[in-house]
Every structure is written in structure tokens, then in C-alpha cells.
Structure 1
């Protein structure tokens, strides 16, 4: 039997689950590339390597949060000043949720997120922050007791949903709107068991609710019953009562 080299290139090549044929055949093997100490480091930026990073984020998040008690995710703007009634409402909501038996999960940043974490910590509850890598990184606020930082938004959003029994949404910007509509879509399409979504601040959210009713629903882009997927209130007590009622606590 001659050497493999003398037999010419193979007609097909198996690289794990991938089959390559004709001019798509690679001249080396996965093992050889793994064991070879030469070459550049561009491989750490390839999509297959990113899959491993994504997997590791899921594993770390699941491991850190799996033993949480019942929790509510609180969303809101990172730009909410600390000396405002809006911030004070966030503190009151965080405190009231703990007193109702919930842990509090936020994005871990400043502003409204910090307020809810502060209220939870001061009430002696579990205060969780799920941070995200951003160009203008601000870090986790000092009131977070359990913090997990993520590279990928979609992994982080998965944690918000998986480990929460409801959402309270304070006034916020594009990130808050993204999280709100993600939650509404998941509930509407029954990808998750129905859970309460409370918008805090009737003046702030009023224009959005009007647009949903008078434009989106009116033009048939959503149904009238979709407006029942969320509640709007200015009362801390009512917000907590709504999530408590719908989660059967």
C-alpha cells in the first residue's frame, strides 16, 4: 500500500459532522490545526469560537441564578438622576417587591436599575444585576449582591425572562423599550407562560399606549386583547399587587 500522499486528494473529506467535496476539501485536519503551535490568533474571533463563548455565558448565567427565589425583573433608564421622584419610585418598588417575597433582577447599571437594586438591598432581599459589555461601560452598581456580566444581549435577555415571574418597567429609553417588547412578544406568542408586565408611570407611557391602541390595533396590526398583556399604574402598591396576584404569591 502506498503512502496517502501518493494516492492523490480524497474525493470527500469528513470534518466532524461537516462533509466537504471537490474544491471545498481542506488540506489539513482539525486535530492538526489544534495541535499546531504556529499560525496567528485570528481563530479566537471566528464564529465557531463565538459559539463557545455564547455557551459559556449561558452556563455561567444558569449556574449563578438557578437557585434564586421567585424574582421580578425591573427595567428602566440608566440615565434617571438619583435626586428625582422617578429614582425614589424605583427604590420604593425594589423594597416593596422584596417585602412581597421576591428577589429583584435589574440590568445592574445606574439610574432606575440602581434604584431598584438599592431598594431590594435595603429591604434585606436578594439584589441581582445582569450587566452587559458596552463601549461606554459603567459597571455594576454598588447595590448588586449577585452580578453577572454578559457579552451578548440575547443571552442577557434570556436570563431576564427565565428567572423572573414578572416585569416592572420604569420609564426608560431604547434598551428599556427593547426589553419591554421582547417580553410582550414572548407572552403574546405563548413562548412563555403568561406573567404580569407592569408599566410604571402613566404620563410617561401614555403616548405609547395611545399609539398601540389608536394606530397598531386600529389598523389591525395587533388585536384588542393584546392591550391586556400589560398594566399601567402610578402606584407602587398596585404594581406590586399586580405581580403578586398574577404570580399567585
Structure 2
């Protein structure tokens, strides 16, 4: 059965140029050509396209491309290693999420600050040395500005909030490298209160990615089976003469 580029394109809401680009990139196996030079595809190409489009949501465009390129050059082991790497990254992302959720659970409400303060009064308030605050700054936990006249560090209300949160988490045994990404999330969310919604969205995205990886694995397995069957059937394959 021969298919035209437009047949593949229409079935997946793509342009015929996109189909040709996928072939040129190695995402699809090479197409046969008619005596007049027109491309002809087969159900194997349709299966490859379905596999690629199913892989993209879970693995991303670049990794999905690399997976298909490896399969099409008969380097299935390379493709499987790429998939393993994606799963390992997903596991690491889940660990990060769980660490942030645990840290947020350990936080107590921080009073709303007004105005700004210098390093001395802030360090005395917390019972820590100014050198500790400077260490936290180097670790990326806080980002105080400098007074243009004196050059002293000036902590805004948001900076003080971050320092108080960092102080809570340090007392709870969290490391600086664990606290820095949490505070970055809090700053991005605009405070602690909106962070729960952000964490909910984060969890949902990870779950969606996991489901997408399952769908991608099923589609890729079907393509691998089709390639094997196609290779074992005399006269079948990509349609190449």
C-alpha cells in the first residue's frame, strides 16, 4: 500500500512540508520515489509518524527525534537508553517536587514585612552573624540591593521574608542547595500562599508526563514490531525498490 505525503499529513493535522522535514531529519525512514521523483510512503511510515508524535509530549521534541533516529538506523539500544534517561529525569523531578512539598509543609507563617533593613539589624533579629547572611547571599538564597551612598546591603521586605523562611528551613535541617530552589519558587509565585497552587500544577504536569511516556512507549513498541514484521516479509518494507 502506497501513501502520498498528503495522506500522512492529513491524518495528523500536519503540512506535507512537515512530513518531508521529518523524513529529512531521520524521524521517518527513507521514502521510495516514483520514476518521476515523487515520494511514496507506506503504513510503516505512518506508524513511525504516530510513534514520534506520541513520544513528543512525554520526552520532548529533541529527545523524541533522537529516539526515532536511533530506531531508524537500527540502533534500538541507543533509543532505549534515551528513554531510560528521560525516565531517570522524571524520577529526579519527582524527588525535587517532594522535597519542595516537604519544605513548604515545614514552614510557619511569616509576618508581612514593611520597609527595608540593613544587614546588622536583620542579623541581630535572627540571632545569626552577618557573615551567615552574606553566605546565604552567595548561595543564591537572597539578593539584597546596595545602598548607593554607603554600599551597605539593604534588605527589602521581600528579602526579609526570604531570610526568615531560609532561617526556618535551616533550623529544620535543610541544606542551602535545597532551600535556594524553594525560595526561587516562592519568588516566582509571588509569596508562599500561591505556592500550593503552583505545586498542584507541578504535580499535574508530572502525572501528565508519566501518562504521555506510557502512550509513547506503546506507540514506539508498535512501530518496532511493525519494522520487525516488515523486515521479515519478503517484498515489504519502506517501499524502496
TM-score by length of 1: 0.26
Give the helix-richer structure, 1 or 2: 2
Does 1 or 2 have the higher relative contact order (CA < 8 Å, sep 6+)? 2
Q: Which has the higher strand share?
A: 1
